[in-house]
A and B are shown apart, each in its own frame.
Chain A
Amino acid sequence: MLRPFRRRPAGGQNPIDAPLPPGTSPLLEIDGLSVGYEVGGAFTTVLDGVSLTVEDGEFVCVVGASGCGKTTLLKTIDGLIAPSAGEVRVSGRTAHPRHGDMAVVFQQDSLYPWRTVLANVRFGLDVRGRRSAETDARSRECIELVGLRGFENHYPHQLSGGMRQRVNLARALAVDPTLLLMDEPFAALDAQTREVMQTELLDIWTKQRKTVVFITHQLDEAVLLADRVIVMAAHPGRIREEIRIDIPRPRDLHTKRGERFTAYVDHIWNLIEEEVRRSLIPGTAQETRTGA
Chain B
Amino acid sequence: MSGVTSRERRARHTTMPPAPGPRRRRGSGRRWRGYRAVVSFAGFLVVWHVAAEYLVANPLFLAGPISTVQAVGTMWADGTLQQDLLVSADEFLKGFGAGLVAGVLLGLLLGTSRRAKDYIDPLINGLYATPLVALAPLFILWFGIGETKTVLLVFMLVVLPIAINTDAGIRATDPQHLEAARSFGASRLQLFTMVRFPTSVSFLVAGIRMGIGRGLIGVVVGELFGSQSGLGYRILVSSQYFQTDVLLAGVLIFSVTGVLLVKIFEWLERRVAPWQSGQG
Partner of B184, one of A103, A195, A203: A103
A127 to B183, CA, bound (A): 10
Which among A112, A151, A199, A200 is the interface contact of B18 at CB below 8 angstroms?
Answer: A151
Interface size on B, residues (CB 8 A): 30
Residues of B within 8 A of A99 (CB): 185
Question: Which of A48-56, A86-94, A153-161 is the contact stretch?
Answer: A153-161
Contact A97 B177 (CB under 8 A): no
Contacts of A102 in B (CB 8 A): 183
Q: Which chain B residue has the least Cβ–Cβ distance from A79?
A: B183
Q: Is B274 an interface residue (CB 8 A)?
A: yes
Contact in complex: B273, A114 (CB < 8 Å): yes
Q: What is the distance, in angstroms, from B88's C-beta to the closest C-beta of chain A?
A: 35
A155 contact set on B, CB distance < 8 A: 274-275
Q: Which of A123, A195, A253 lies in contact with B181, CB distance below 8 A? A: A123
Q: Which of B1-21 contact A (CB under 8 A)?
A: 1-2, 4-5, 8-9, 18, 20
**Given the complex of chains A and B, what is the CA–CA distance between A230 and B186 in angstroms?**
30
Q: Is the CB of B20 within 8 A of A127?
A: no
Main DSSP-derived SS at the B contact region: helix
Question: How many angstroms between the C-alpha atoms of A155 and B278 in the bound complex?
Answer: 10
Q: Among the listed B176, B184, B275, which residue makes an inter-chain contact with A108, where contact means beta carbons less than 8 Å apart?
A: B176
Interface string of B167-180 (1 = CB under 8 A from A): 00000001011011
Interface residues of A in 53-107 (CB under 8 A from B): 75, 78, 80, 97-100, 102-104, 106
* Size category, A interface: 35 or more
CA distance A78 to B278 in the complex (A): 35
Q: Please tell me if the beta carbons of A158 and B278 are within 8 angstroms of each other in the complex.
A: yes
**Cross-chain contact B176 with A113 (CB below 8 angstroms):** no
A103 proximity list for chain B (CB < 8 A): 183-184
B177 shortest CB reach to chain A, Å: 6
A-chain residues with CB within 8 Å of residue B40 when the two chains form the complex: none
Q: Which residue numbers of A lie inside 8 Å of B, CB to CB?
A: 75, 78, 80, 97-100, 102-104, 106, 108, 110, 112-115, 123-124, 126-128, 147, 150-151, 154-158, 175, 195-196, 199-200, 203, 252-253
- Chain B residues near A (Cβ < 8 Å): 1-2, 4-5, 8-9, 18, 20, 174, 176-177, 179-186, 190, 194-195, 198-199, 201, 273-275, 278-279
Q: 5 other contacts beyond A80-B182, A103-B183, A123-B194, with CB at 8 A cut-off? A: A80-B179, A97-B182, A127-B190, A199-B4, A200-B1
